[in-house]
Chain A
Amino acid sequence: EDQVTQSPEALRLQEGESSSLNCSYTVSGLRGLFWYRQDPGKGPEFLFTLYSAGEEKEKERLKATLTKKESFLHITAPKPEDSATYLCAPIQGAQKLVFGQGTRLTINP
């Protein structure tokens, strides 16, 4: 059965304190992986697409990496506005996303 596990479930950091979020998965017919950010009451907001192992993408304080079985979202020197839930979603088959539960990130000023 397809499974996506994100860890930790929740993470509280001080402003400027770097860390990493993990997404491990077992998904048949894997064709890549998306990372999204979701703020309360809103829909997922696209961050990155990774298509193959070894690939890396960066955007401001975020960097996403991909291996065959996991992906990491590294956050460097975060700010309070980076507080959100971060979702990873491996892409199965044609276009079907398989979501994890998300990591709820809080950055304290």
Chain B
Amino acid sequence: EAGVTQFPSHSVIEKGQTVTLRCDPISGHDNLYWYRRVMGKEIKFLLHFVKESKQDESGMPNNRFLAERTGGTYSTLKVQPAELEDSGVYFCASSQVRGGSPLPDTQYFGPGTRLTVL
């Protein structure tokens, strides 16, 4: 079974440009998450989708970031316009929805997209 995939693996852009990151979750996983690690810091939560709905977007840093998940399958994270401080590694994770269980589901991570803003 294929794991979480992310595209591109690396992106280098100029400040002020737009970049779109893509995440394909594990097939059948309704939960999809975005996280990022900026230089020297810990991995931080950005947002959580359940199918196509945003469940929690409390970690989104500002309105330059737009996440979508049309159709409840893959997701995109657009940064427009990019700033220097957006550089870092963006991770996507996915998990199943447990029917009837209150316990959190295991989140499986993709390899990440390394974004460099010059």
Closest to B47 in A: A96
Band of interface residues on A: 20 to 34
Number of interface residues of B (CB under 8 A): 27
A34 and B106 contacting across the interface, CB-CB below 8 Å: yes
Known: A32-B103, A95-B107. A44 touches B45 (CB 8 A): no
Which stretch in A10-18, A45-53, A56-64, A67-75 binds the other chain? A45-53
B109 and A99 contacting across the interface, CB-CB below 8 Å: no
Known: A32-B104, A34-B107, A91-B104. A43 touches B56 (CB 8 A): no
Bitwise interface map of A from 1 to 38 toward B, beta carbon under 8 Å scored 1, else 0: 00010000000000000000000000000011010100
Other contacts beyond A43-B91, A95-B105: 19, CB < 8 A: A4-B42, A31-B103, A32-B103, A32-B104, A34-B106, A36-B109, A41-B111, A43-B93, A43-B112, A46-B107, A49-B106, A89-B43, A91-B104, A95-B95, A96-B56, A97-B43, A99-B43, A100-B42, A101-B41
